[in-house]
Amino acid sequence: MPIILLRRFSALVLSLGLVFAAVPPVLAAPTPPLPMAALPFFGSILAGQRPSNLGVKNGQLSPCPGSPNCVVSQGNPDAEHAIAPLAYSGDASSALAQLEAVITGMPRTAIIEKTDTYLYAEFTSPLMGYVDDVEFSVDPAQSVIHVRSASRLGESDLGVNRKRIEAIRSAFAA
């Protein structure tokens, strides 16, 4: 039992960058990684809180924050955040139903809210449980569906939100 405690203490000291000369290197073995069972706990932390700025206000989806982990098709966004809306033909209700079918067919997705002209879904990353908020607003006058996809946490999303909307665009057009 004392050896285990000494190993954990040594690993802690080494992880802090301190030198602990009294512990032989054999006893200073790193602690094992977190078990997979711990991931749901951390996933719930990494999900973050649902934003309060969701929905359509004054006919538009919210603009993106300054971080690069968001894309939006309304409100004159800069080039980093701009993305084209989804074009459709026919009636708006059929287009929204088709969009809903595309989204429900995607993994780790939950539709949170749906009206005649609005759809809000949460997409969860597979390993860490990060949540992205994705909104769609139908504009029947222009036959387009405006989009906004944003990560709740972090700074960069490595282009995930843009890739997701383009994948939805491809499936929606098919």
pLDDT digits (tens, 9 = 90+) for 142-171: 999 999 999 998 888 888 999 999 999 999
Are residues 12 and 80 both part of a single domain? no
Contact 114, 100 (CB under 8 A): yes
Query: 67 with 114, same domain?
Result: yes
115 within a domain of the structure (yes/no) = yes
53 in a structural domain: no
- Is the same domain home to 30 and 100? no
* Least reliable range by pLDDT among 12-16, 57-61, 79-83, 142-146: 12-16
DSSP-assigned letter for residue 36: G
Same domain, 156 and 76: yes
Using a cut of 0.95, tell me whether the model's pTM lies above it.
Answer: no
Residue 48 placed within a domain: no
Place of tokens 């973050």: 48
Amino acid 98 reads Q
Q: What is the CATH number of the domain that holds 91?
A: 3.30.310.80
Q: Which domain holds residue 98?
A: 63-173
Choice between 40 and 72, residue whose per-residue pLDDT is larger: 72
Q: Are residues 71 and 151 in the same domain?
A: yes
Based on the fold, state whether residues 165 and 91 are members of the same structural domain: yes
Q: Are residues 157 and 109 in the same domain?
A: yes
Per the structure, the count of domains in the chain is: 2
pLDDT at 33 over 60: no
Does 92 or 49 have the greater pLDDT score? 92
pLDDT exceeds cutoff 70 at 41: no
* Domain membership flag for residue 24: yes
- Tell me the pLDDT tens digit for each residue of 81-139: 999 999 999 999 999 999 999 999 999 999 999 999 999 999 999 888 899 999 999 99
In a domain, 56, yes or no: no
